[in-house]
């Protein structure tokens, strides 16, 4: 699971230009190992904040709605 804060500028009511920077993330993995009659359970949690320049993202969003555009 990750959260990347950003914003979207609506060029028109149906088209948006977006930018986000950084990433706050968390992951969990559980492993169960059975060897003969012995069961071992392990888990791994990872979390962090990524502020590298490679986490800078740009995008375009298209919004399709069921209503009419207001003028």
Is residue 69 included in any domain, yes or no? no
Q: The sheet that has 23-35: what strands, in order across it?
A: 2-3, 23-35, 38-50
Domain limits for position 22 = 2-62
Instruction: Look at residue 53 and tell me if it is in a domain.
Output: yes
Half-sphere exposure (Cβ direction) of 49: Cα atoms closer than 13 Å: 2
Residue 13 resides in a domain? yes
pTM reported for the whole predicted model: 0.55
Question: Is 50 a member of any domain?
Answer: yes
Specify the pLDDT at position 55: 84
The reply to whether 68 falls in a domain is no
Q: How far apart, in whole angstroms, are the C-alpha atoms of residue 58 and residue 67?
A: 27
Helix (H, G, I), strand (E, B) or coil at 68: coil
Q: What is the pLDDT of residue 9?
A: 96
Q: What is the predicted pLDDT for the residue at 68?
A: 66
pLDDT at residue 20, rounded to an integer? 93
Is 10 among the domain residues?
A: yes
pLDDT along the chain (71 residues), means of 10: 91 94 91 89 91 90 76 62
What's the number of domains the chain is made of? 1
């Amino acid at each position: 699971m990750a959260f990347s804060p950003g914003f979207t500028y609506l060029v028109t009511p149906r088209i948006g230009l977006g930018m986000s920077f950084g990433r706050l993330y968390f992951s969990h993995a559980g492993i169960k190992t059975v060897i003969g009659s012995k069961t071992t359970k392990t888990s791994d949690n990872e979390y962090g904040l990524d502020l590298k320049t490679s986490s800078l993202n740009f995008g375009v969003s298209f919004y399709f709605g069921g209503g009419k555009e207001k003028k």
